[in-house]
Amino acid sequence: MELCVERQGEVTVVRPDQPRLDAMVAVLFKDRMKAAVEGAGARVVLDLSGVGFLDSSGLGAVVAVQRFMRAEQRLELAGLTPAVARVFRLTRMEQIFTIHAGVGDALRAAV
């Protein structure tokens, strides 16, 4: 699994190249995300627009990423596909994360 990491001003945008965040890639995703956010600023946007499937292991990996971020950092989500958005809704994780319709919306948001 590879992550596309790019700086957009003060925001670090991270995009997984996997169509699925499941048990097969969850550990690798966490490891790669940890490396990606180490040097990031206060806002990190995880662009999930290319992820069509997320299971409980993938959800746990996203939550774990938020936990190992520094106190001054925040993880925001963008571009959730309908299936992925449903998982966040069913687990009420949409109350934990700031979720944007797309990366552009996240970049325009004054959080």
Distance CA 57, CA 65 (A): 12
Mean residue pLDDT across the chain: 95
Confidence check: pLDDT of 110 > 80 = no
Distance CA 100, CA 103 (A): 7
Distance CA 72, CA 18 (A): 28
Is pTM, for the whole model, over 0.85? yes
Q: What residue numbers bound the domain in which 70 lies?
A: 3-108
DSSP state of 7: E
Structurally, how many domains does the chain consist of?
A: 1
- For the segment 40-66, the average pLDDT, to the nearest whole number, is 96
Answer yes or no: are the C-beta atoms of 3 and 36 closer than 8 Å: yes
Answer yes or no: are the C-beta atoms of 54 and 87 closer than 8 Å: yes
DSSP state of 4: E
The CATH number of the domain holding residue 15 is 3.30.750.24
pLDDT of residue 1: 84
The predicted-structure confidence for 18-38, as pLDDT tens digits, reads as follows 999 999 999 999 999 999 999
- Note the maximum CA span of the chain: 35
